[in-house]
A and B are shown apart, each in its own frame.
Chain A
Amino acid sequence: MLLIENPLNSSPLAFPVLECFHIVGFAFSVGTIALVDFRLLGWGMRRETPAQIARETFFWTLGGLVVMLLSGLMLFSSDPDNYYLNWAFDIKMFFLVLAIVFNYTIHRKTALADQPAGGKLVACISMALWACVVFGGIFIGFLNSTLNFKNI
């Protein structure tokens, strides 16, 4: 078997520094998506239309997502076996895929519509999906003797 050392594992700083990028990317992407959600719910930014907010935040959301996904893939590569056995990781990936697909399909279409239909429902689904991603992500690091890993 060919053993290749992942350069990320040669420095104890690599993982925490990547996590910082992951969190800041997350704040930008989910934070800007949440602005659209709050507007759809009628809670904030009522001087703007949902479409204006969706358009103005588009690149910050996308940029944040790219940073979050790239840093996330690198974090995963540091110890794939560990993530494979981690049920919280499965939950996170499931909701992450749903959340991203939802954001760029129904969520975007609703926000950009002249008369958003079902905007409140869409906003609630969007926030719930991202909240599930966060819970999954946080629990990844908390599996131990109390919260067991998967049995395989």
Chain B
Amino acid sequence: MLLSLALWVQATDFFTYLRGSGYVYPSILSLHMIAIAFFGGMILMTDMRLLGLAFRDRPVADLVDQFRVPKRWGFLLAITCGLLMLGCKAEEYYYNAFFRAKVVLLILVAVHALAFHRSVYLKAAEFDRAGRVPGLAKLAAVLSLLLWIGIAIMGRGIGYIEPPFGIHA
């Protein structure tokens, strides 16, 4: 079912056009990377602040609260570019083990948000009042770092898998 959806998506005029141009796909990938740098930096610094490794003179709440909305915009840009690239080569991605791993890690990011949004990220001001960041918050930061670095690595891996012989694209 997923495979036939993949075949249908990449056969649409829009994605056939995107795939055919030598410049469009790499340009979308470049925007994807820019989103990663500009907004991944916010994720990294939020996590590093929770771990006490950056912005130690500034309140935890400053970073967590101020990055919340911009991070969502960055994620939106990254995922939009990602979906466009997926559409171009949907069948290849379907067979790509690194892509599957990346999707699993992205699902785990959603689980991370469900688990820690209330218990950690909405309580940043409490950590500042208490003067210390609890272990649970540090755990959330470490897991977030591992997940996002893993996602970057899996994303890079996607380009290294040769599509199986005889597929359509």
Contact = CB atoms under 8 A, between A and B. Distances in A.
A44 B156 contact: no
Which of B27, B34, B39, B67 has most chain A Cβ within 10 Å?
B34
Interface size band for B? 35 or more
Interface in B152-169: 152-153, 156-157, 159-160
A80 B90 CA distance: 33
Contact of B45 (A24, A57, A138, A141): A57
Interface residues of A, number: 38
Interface stretch (B7-15, B55-63, B113-121): B55-63
Interface string A30-59: 111111001000011111100010001100
A16 to B, nearest CB: 6
- Tell me if A's interface is mostly helix, strand, loop or mixed: helix
A135 B30 contact: yes
A107 to B, nearest CB: 15
A26 interface: yes
Interface of B: 22-23, 25-27, 29-30, 33-34, 36-42, 44-45, 48, 54-58, 62-63, 66-67, 70, 149, 152-153, 156-157, 159-160
